[in-house]
Copies of this chain bind each other. A is one copy, B any other.
């Protein structure tokens, strides 16, 4: 019996169930050199013939740590070892012009590099090594920071960024199983200690909160959280599809009038849950994301529709306004503020 068969079969089943890969796909694997991405590389390499995959390893050198050069070298050797083409990218210097934390900027640059590599190689998918423990941690992190259905999906097996499919084939695999797979295969990997310093919140959740919950309340806490996320992803998908259909039908732009208009009568026809999702879509369309938009803002918009008189206005973060007229609800973004495409990723 091949002792790798279990993790490889589970990954293959997961890929199949979620249609993550098609026969003949070219796949960029994002490889940091850490255990998760090394395991992902090995597993996809084992599935290469069965799935007709063309693999390509992409490593982004953040240059944030002194070990960065060693890690890049390690990944290069791994690629040569498995006979997989290899690309690397390096952190650019204009990081000071970008907004957000060092961590956010690094993440953004890595995504840009992966997307660039995918375009350059005409790849079909970008594969990332998130696993079931990451999923469980993210659920509890989102809940603690404040999140609804959308956020509690946490990490999804299939997403698109700038129309490029990102897949996470290990999302069903517990970290423990990844580590024993690496051990069984005598695969070495880099240990990233900086990660433990920079993402303080995640590391506290990983090393303190989840072990505490497992010890005190539920030994299966990780799978329970992962299942909750999967369930909510399914429910969210339904809500989102219904809202998307209504959005396409109802959202109007008018020549000479900036912003997005809705008929109050049409909005009032649909359930509050769908209304809220339509508002989130509208706001994301205007400002590129729904950051800083809270539960209370949604309540304010509902209150505007239902209770307040015509000509009332609700002001939202990032210069978004919602005007109520006699017959319409109008979402606008004050000009001069950041456009929808300036920061994403």
From A1-9, A76-84, A162-170, A228-236, give the one contacting chain B: A228-236
Q: Are B231 and A149 in contact (CB under 8 A)?
A: yes
B273, A234: Cβ atoms under 8 Å? yes
User: Cα distance A271–B242 when bound, in Å?
Assistant: 10
Which residues in B have their C-beta under 8 angstroms from that of A152? 228
Knowing A201-B217, A231-B295, A295-B230 touch, does A145 contact B224 (C-beta < 8 A)? Answer: yes
The residue of chain B having its C-beta at the shortest distance from the C-beta of A139 within the complex is: B143
Select A234's contact among B212, B228, B232, B276, beta carbons within 8 Å: B276
Bound together, the chains give a CA A236 to CA B342 distance in angstroms of: 35
Minimum Cβ distance to chain B for residue A280 (Å): 12
Q: Are B238 and A143 in contact (CB under 8 A)?
A: no
**B-chain residues with CB within 8 Å of residue A221 when the two chains form the complex:** 144
A274 interface hit (Cβ, 8 Å): yes
Which residues of B are found within 8 Å of A242, using beta-carbon distances?
A: 242
A273→B237 contact, CB < 8 A: yes
Q: A241 within 8 Å of B by Cβ? A: yes
Decide if A272 touches B231 in the complex (CB within 8 Å): no
Q: How far is the CB of A172 from chain B (nearest CB, A)?
A: 12
With both chains docked as a complex, state the minimum distance between the C-beta of A285 and any C-beta of chain B, in angstroms. 21
From residue A12, how far is it (CB to closest CB) to chain B in Å?
A: 15
The bracket for how many chain A residues form the interface is: 35 or more
| A246-279 interface bits toward B, Cβ cutoff 8 Å, 1 = contact, 0 = none | 0000000000000000000000000111101000
Shortest A46–chain B CB gap in Å is 24
Which residues from B are CB-within-8-Å of A140? 143
- The reply to whether A144 and B213 contact each other, CB–CB distance below 8 Å, is yes
CA A52 – CA B201 in complex, angstroms? 51
A22 beta carbon closer than 8 Å to chain B: no
Q: How far is the CA of A274 from the CA of B149 in the complex (A)?
A: 16
Bound together, the chains give a CA A201 to CA B225 distance in angstroms of 18
A91 part of interface (Cβ distance < 8 Å):
no
CA distance A274 to B271 in the complex (A): 16
Bound-complex Cα distance A239 to B144 (A): 25
Flag A174-208 by CB within 8 Å of B: 1 or 0 each: 00000000000000000000000000010010001
Q: Is residue A227 contacting chain B, with contact meaning CB distance below 8 A?
A: yes
CA distance A145 to B139 in the complex (A): 14
Give chain B residues whose Cβ lies under 8 Å from the Cβ of A149: 149, 231-232, 235
| Contact between A144 and B235, CB atoms less than 8 A apart | no
User: Which residues on B sit within 8 Å (CB–CB) of A325?
Assistant: none
- Complex interface: chain B residues within 8 A of A227 (CB): 146, 295
11 A–B contacts from the bound complex (CB under 8 Å): A143-B143, A144-B221, A144-B224, A146-B224, A148-B228, A204-B217, A234-B272, A235-B239, A238-B274, A239-B239, A242-B242
- Supplied contacts A145-B217, A147-B228, A201-B217, 8 more A-B pairs, CB within 8 Å: A143-B225, A146-B220, A146-B224, A152-B228, A204-B217, A235-B236, A237-B271, A241-B271
